[in-house]
Amino acid sequence: MAKECFWQGELNGKQIDLFYNKYPFADCHGLFVPERESKLPQLLSEGMHQYMWQVTEELSHTLPGVGFGYNSYGAYASVNHLHFQMFIEPKGLPVTANHWQHNGGTETYPVTVIKKTNVNDAWQSIVELHNFKQPYNVLYTNNEIYIMPRKAQGSVDVPEWSSGFTWYEMCGAMLMFNRDDYLGVGEVTINELLSGNKVLA
């Protein structure tokens, strides 16, 4: 793993290891691992939630479009070791578009989205999901947090071209491995696939 870590250091009071992703699916995609030596489980705590909000806001001053994705237990977390997926997308992912109702628009996003602009309000929503053992994905962007409750990993069939719907797919960005699959999947199909993961918030 040491060869894959391209930055280590202190950031806002925590030791951070930043790894490159062997299979990047987002621009400037890396794995952001706080306090790696503590071997924290992939369970979001209030302190770490507050920290990620703070880091996202601070980094956005010099890295426009920076964001972090998080997969909870049962929502395609790859390993049980606390990590976030860092990326840079100045235009924003589809879930951040203005035409969706959760952003003040008129169109309904295919899955339930809890959008918060206050870190404490967002934590209360996450606590409720923890209490119900509800899997979820989170997107941290500058001044906005998108929380997406979803059906548990393994309970929904995924298409052959997908290895599963992580935070990235739940945010509306589809990952495919060949051109034929890409050309064969349109908006209707994507909406149907996302809708299959929907749960009531």
Q: Which CATH number covers residue 175? A: 3.30.428.70
Of 4-8, 84-88, 112-116, the least confident: 4-8
Q: What average pLDDT does range 59-88 have in this prediction?
A: 96
Confidence grade of residue 24 (pLDDT, cut at 50, 70, 90)? confident
> Is 200 a domain residue?
no
pLDDT of residue 135: 97
> Is 168 a domain residue?
yes
Q: What average pLDDT does range 138-146 have in this prediction?
A: 97
Nearest to 150 by CA among 162, 140, 138: 138
pLDDT of residue 25: 80
Domain count of the fold of the chain? 1
Burial class (CB in 10 A: 0-12, 13-18, 19+), 45: middle
Q: What is the pLDDT of residues 68-77, one digit of tens each?
A: 999 999 999 9
> Is 187 a domain residue?
yes
> Is 126 a domain residue?
yes
Its pTM stands at: 0.95
Domain of residue 53 covers 2-195
Query: Could you give the CA distance from residue 43 to residue 32 in angstroms, rounded to a whole number?
Result: 15
Q: Please, are residues 165 and 76 in contact by the beta-carbon 8 Å criterion?
A: yes
pLDDT of residue 201: 55
> Is 36 a domain residue?
yes
